[in-house]
Amino acid sequence: DIQMTQSPSSLSASVGDKITFTCRASQNIANYLNWYQQKPGKVPKLLIFAASRLQSGVPSRFSGSGSGTDFTLTISSLQPEDFASYYCQQSYSIPWAFGQGTKVEIK
């Protein structure tokens, strides 16, 4: 089974900051990597699929990159509504697997 590891587990940032966090797969998953945002008490929301394709309606300040085993999610200018948890998920093979998440908190 493919394991997903995210880092850091949490980070503090300010509105306007550019932030990047990473997701690593335990084996090559090409670009079969999705990113979800989850706010407290809410349902996860798809941000990016296929490592770098922005889901319709998602602001362009979000971007994803990577291929193989190493992936990144970047928020170019953090907005108040972006304080949330972010999860990567491999969609290369079943069993699907999520990373443990990165929580973005207000500095």
Partner 1 sequence: QVQLVQSGAEVKKPGASVMVSCKASGYTFTIYDINWVRQAAGQGLEWMGWMNPNSGDTGFAQKFQGRVTMTRDTSISTAYMELSSLRAEDTAVYYCATNYYDVSGYPYFAQWGQGTLVTVSS
From candidates 53, 79, 105, 106, binder to partner 1 by CB under 8 A? 53
Answer yes or no: are the C-beta atoms of 16 and 1 closer than 8 Å.
Answer: no
Applying CB under 8 A, the span of 12-20, 36-44, 57-65, 68-76 interacting with partner 1 comes to 36-44
Longest dimension (CA), the chain: 38
Q: Give residues with Cβ within 8 angstroms of 94, minimum separation 6.
A: none
- Determine if 98 is a binding residue for partner 1 (CB under 8 A): yes
- Determine if 12 is a binding residue for partner 1 (CB under 8 A): no
Task: Give the nearest distance from C-beta 58 to partner 1 in angstroms.
Answer: 12
- Determine if 105 is a binding residue for partner 1 (CB under 8 A): no
- Determine if 96 is a binding residue for partner 1 (CB under 8 A): yes
Listed residue (85, 75, 55, 67) closest to 24, CA to CA: 67
Q: Per-residue b/e over 74-94, b at no fewer than 16 CB within 10 Å?
A: ebeebeeebbbbbbbbbbeee
Report 61-80 residues binding partner 1 (CB under 8 A): none
Interface residue list for partner 1 (CB under 8 A): 1, 31-32, 34, 36, 38, 43-44, 46, 49-50, 53, 87, 89, 91, 94-101
